[in-house]
Amino acid sequence: MNKSYIVPVDVPDDKKQEYERNFEDATQGSGRLMLFAGDQKVEHLNNDFYGENISEDDADPEHLFRIADKANVGVFASQLGLIARYGGDYRDIPYLIKLNSKTNLVKTEQSDPLNGEWYKIKDIVEFKKASGLKILAVGYTVYIGSEFEAQMLREAAKAVLEAHCHGLLTVLWMYPRGASVKNEKDPHLIAGAAGVAACLGSDFTKINFPKVNGKGSAKALKEAVVAAGRTKVICAGGSSTEVSAFLQTLHDQIHIAGANGNATGRNIHQKPFDEAIRFCNAIHALTVEGKSVDDATKIYNG
């Protein structure tokens, strides 16, 4: 089988098989990652989980785990503490642990964002060994353009290096943000952020879908994909979007821009359980299995 990735040379010889196993498990051999994002419990507090047009199922944190357990996902991303509370009942889920998180209460107008680490890689490795859970990857958010970017870049660099030393995959959330950033969705700036992720050595980078004249542009995204080189690009799913439009956008990100997956949270978990499963499976089919938009829509419609 032709591998869809290259093992970076910072992975020690005795950890290469584990790294390869984690990559194959996370992407099901496709090279594309379907990341189910469940880290918003911190990032957006309860705004994403309770309110108008949000299913009552979503008010309970276990809704996230129930979806990740029953649907097709590459990894389920959340904080270690939440995984520790529920993971014992959901041992088959492939996990990604976020190393840092912050709330959205302090606005950029008040202070540039700082997203300091919660855990060291050794903490994740010890937790993985003690829990026996399927922890395949770690993630870290960097806000380039923040006056605190130096700290986040340093912590991200160390996290990638140490994660690879233990055979773990890495995903870097790379978001331009701060008083110096005039347009967070600028295609050229987002491409620059993807290039920084490559310099940090990450396996994947999660970026925002760039906009041209106020609209998401798969053609513009291609600049970021090229800038990232061997670091694979996945796009954030954003706020809830009409299903067919979401699936078409995801198709274009992959087949026009050359992205290698997606990171979807609200568009999945804000739906009732059964619908969330169908939509998750539709996204996975399009992303990992190479299905068409029509085929994915049929999966969603049941």
Residues recognised as catalytic: 175, 206
Cα gap 122→97, rounded to integer Å: 13
Going by C-alpha positions, the residue among 169, 301, 295 that lies closest to residue 232 is: 169
Length of the chain in residues, anyone? 302
Cα gap 21→281, rounded to integer Å: 22
Cα gap 81→248, rounded to integer Å: 35
Contact yes or no for 285/299 (Cβ under 8 A): yes
Contact yes or no for 146/171 (Cβ under 8 A): no
3-state secondary structure of 216: strand
- β-pairing, 204-207 vs 75-79, is unpaired
